[in-house]
Amino acid sequence: MQYWISMEIYTVFLLVTTLLSILLVHLFFSTNSRSLRNLPPGPKGWPILGNLPQLGDKPHQTLAALAKIYGPLFHLRFGIEHVVVAASSSVAAQFLKTFDTNFSNRPPNSGAEHVAYNYQDLVFAPYGSRWRMLRKLCFIHLFSNKAMDTCRRVREEEVSLLVCRLKDAGGKMVRLGEEVNVCVTDALARAIMGMRVFGEKRKGAEELKEMILELMKLAGVFNIGDFVPGIGWLDIQGVVGKMKNLHKRYDIFLNNIIAEHERSQKDDGDLLSVMIGLKKNKEDLTGEGETVTDIDIKALLLNLFSAGTDTTTSTLEWALAELIRHPDILEHLQQEIDGVVGRDRLVSDTDLPNLPFLHAVIKEVFRLHPSTPLSLPRVALESCEVQGYHIPKNTTLLVNVWAISRDPTVWTDPLEFRPSRFLPGGDHANSDVKGNDFDVIPFGAGRRICAGMSLGLKMVQFLTATLAHSFDWKLPDDHLPENLNMEEAFGLTLQRAEPFAAHPVPRLLPSAYL
């Protein structure tokens, strides 16, 4: 009994000590903040926690609303950390173009530490030689024009299998996201390691899908322990515990993939074979002393499977939902594809350059529904001045991609789905989504732009064209297209609050589906 009383006293002592430390840090921070002149404007925060409690369950929308009050560049405080939010294209351009070098790193966060192999992955690795090595590997073997041409047959085969599954549904209701996820994951897995994940009923395939969804949810949480010193060990939100458990599951899954690949002694030039070879030979890929390790391989696979599947799946759901809500646009798109492809075969990857209206549709989907509504955070290496405001060293930068692409000062009728704005004669005819035009940056911009942008864009275009061309999409009898639920659910990626489901009705000649 005396032992338990002692433990209780010790626990209370720790809590009291922690709280006192937090209060002292807060007092110091408040005093120090007053000495920082000319910060951007922003809302007053809570004691200790700052503005964290004000973010709500959809931070991208909350921050967009704050921008209307405080302007396109405003200041927040997350615990003791300075945070600035860029909510217009001109402000984003200054951070991601003019000061790109200064904001080339990520701030510390529990997700990178506990899930992404302690910052060993491509997404969160510090900008430097290791980051360049990982990015070079991905570019050469997955994202270059040569690599994507090599994998064209793989993409076409997996999309064809998707079409057959949908046709075999017999007009019954299907959850599009689930079907597209299988297609995208298998296409990516074949490119990465030369074999399917779902298609061959591999053990753990369903678990991978669950892990990816859990990761995207956890990664979208602002963990209080990342911003308030001394309380991380409490794990108030339970986020760190979930991350550690998720990491263990991922690690087992990835270890099994690597071990099986090594046992097979298979070397088809896929990315995993290349990385295993580099690891065995201890080859310096960049000439900067960086060699590939098992951790590098697992961390990169984690990035590719997580970011490369969920973003495409969610974007396809938004695309089909918008097309159903706008039958005139769907009909226009189908007519364009029919004119190029006909109705006796499926869309080919090589048809895409000849479909300008398709490209306009995809740009409009990315504008209204960017897969990552808040850019992954960056951190200031040194103090700088943006639009006349002082940005202190170590300030976290958030770019509100969602708000920028709905800015009424830039976009006419910004909430309307209107692909024609990107066609010749439209007010954004020359805009692209590849990081050159800061009015619409779904993949980010600058040095830390999404490494998989080229493949992600290609898959979204190809899948949208194929699904629009191959099927008419019908909602249940009691659902009107204009009443389709378009509410958002926030995570790291922009998910639909309600998964998209509809009846696929074949519209091509029977021979096209063989």
Q: Specify binding-site residues for heme.
A: 450
Q: How far apart are CA 79 and CA 229, in angstroms?
A: 8
Known binding residues: 450
DSSP 474: E
Residue pair 45/79 in contact by the 8 Å Cβ criterion: no
Local structure of 41: helix, strand or coil: coil
Residue pair 466/347 in contact by the 8 Å Cβ criterion: yes
Q: How far apart are CA 314 and CA 456, in angstroms?
A: 12
Q: How far apart are CA 258 and CA 180, in angstroms?
A: 25
Q: How far apart are CA 153 and CA 170, in angstroms?
A: 27
**Amino acid identity, residue 381?**
L
> What b/e sequence results for 425-440 when a residue is b if at least 16 CB atoms lie within 10 Å of its CB, and e otherwise?
eeebeebebbbebbbb
Determine how many CB atoms are found less than 10 A away from the CB of residue 8: 10
Q: How far apart are CA 56 and CA 29, in angstroms?
A: 24
The residues pairing with 177 across neighbouring beta strands, listed in sequence order, are none
Q: 């002694």: which residue's tokens? A: 265
> What b/e sequence results for 468-504 when a residue is b if at least 16 CB atoms lie within 10 Å of its CB, and e otherwise?
bbbbbbebeeeeebeebebebbbbbbbbbeeebebbb
Which residues touch 44 (CB under 8 Å, ≥6 apart)? none
DSSP 347: -
Considering only CA atoms, which of 400, 403, 362, 398 is closest in space to residue 377?
398
Residue pair 465/351 in contact by the 8 Å Cβ criterion: yes
DSSP 501: E
